[in-house]
Amino acid sequence: MNRIVGSVFAAILFALLNSAPAKADSLSLYFATGQIFLKGNNTCTPSPCTEIITVSFNIDFRHNPNGGPPGNTWPFISNFVSSWSGPMGTFAGTGTDRFVSDQQNIYTFGDSIGDAIDLHVSAGVPAFFTPTVFPPTVSADLWNCTSSPCIQFILPPGTGPSGQLAIRRGLASQFTVTEVPELSTFALLGFGIVGIGVVRFRKRVKD
């Protein structure tokens, strides 16, 4: 019986260890969640007009096959989800899994009516880098304000067409970024749990 239990234990351990991803594919995985605040003009009641956008997404760092020096890594955004409340319209939806822009260090997402927000991941860090400071930082700005609701509620009264595009306006935001344990960590935890179970089982058999 002990041999059978030992064989089962070894098989489980082998499966757990083989399920852990190689660290060369991604250095670390982080989960980011936060809120972005668009504070506008005084045409709303209560005043001022305020749009609150809630977002969540994963950040990991990997080599970009489309460019970059070997050995350097770029932030990669995945599982992006957003929701909203306020007078402007919808920022709800899911974003495309992709690398952060190598030129301006941004991940852009928009609503269904033409407005866009830029997220800056690890703000202030060059685009090509091997991350040394964790966790990453996230900030936001309003890039496009082209819809009628955005122009009406967010831009100052009397703003002309020249102020509607590419305004790059910094936004108040708050983000929490936490590291996600790798599968190898869960494998070790599973190994420990199975080990405890085997010890207890063997003790019962002896008793």
pLDDT in tens, the chain (207 residues): 545 544 544 454 444 444 443 333 445 789 999 999 999 889 899 899 999 999 999 998 887 777 655 556 788 999 999 999 999 888 999 999 998 887 677 899 998 888 999 998 874 444 455 555 567 889 998 888 888 888 888 877 656 554 455 567 889 999 999 998 865 444 444 445 545 554 454 555 555
Domain membership of residue 199 (yes or no) is: no
Predicted pLDDT at 144: 85
Domain span including residue 117: 26-181
Cβ distance 173 to 36 under 8 Å? yes
Residue 71 main-chain phi, psi, to 5 deg: 90, -10
Domain membership of residue 71 (yes or no) is: yes
For the CA atoms of 36, 42, 47, 53, the dihedral, rounded to the nearest 10 degrees, stands at -20
Which conformational region is residue 42 in: left (phi greater than 0), alpha (psi within -120 to 50 degrees), or beta? alpha
pTM of model > 0.75: no
Predicted pLDDT at 164: 53
Residue type, 185: T
**Domains contained in the chain, number:** 1
Predicted pLDDT at 46: 87
How many whole angstroms separate alpha carbon 68 and alpha carbon 100?
Answer: 13
The secondary structure element, H or E, covering residue 148 is: helix 148-153
Domain membership of residue 130 (yes or no) is: yes
Six token digits for residue 206: 């002896």
Domain membership of residue 6 (yes or no) is: no
Domain membership of residue 195 (yes or no) is: no
Cβ distance 41 to 48 under 8 Å? yes
Domain membership of residue 67 (yes or no) is: yes
Six token digits for residue 173: 């935001």
Domain membership of residue 74 (yes or no) is: yes
- Within 10 angstroms of residue 35's Cβ, the number of other Cβ atoms is 16
Predicted pLDDT at 135: 76
Q: Is the C-alpha dihedral spanning 192, 31, 124, 76 positive or negative?
A: positive
Domain membership of residue 205 (yes or no) is: no
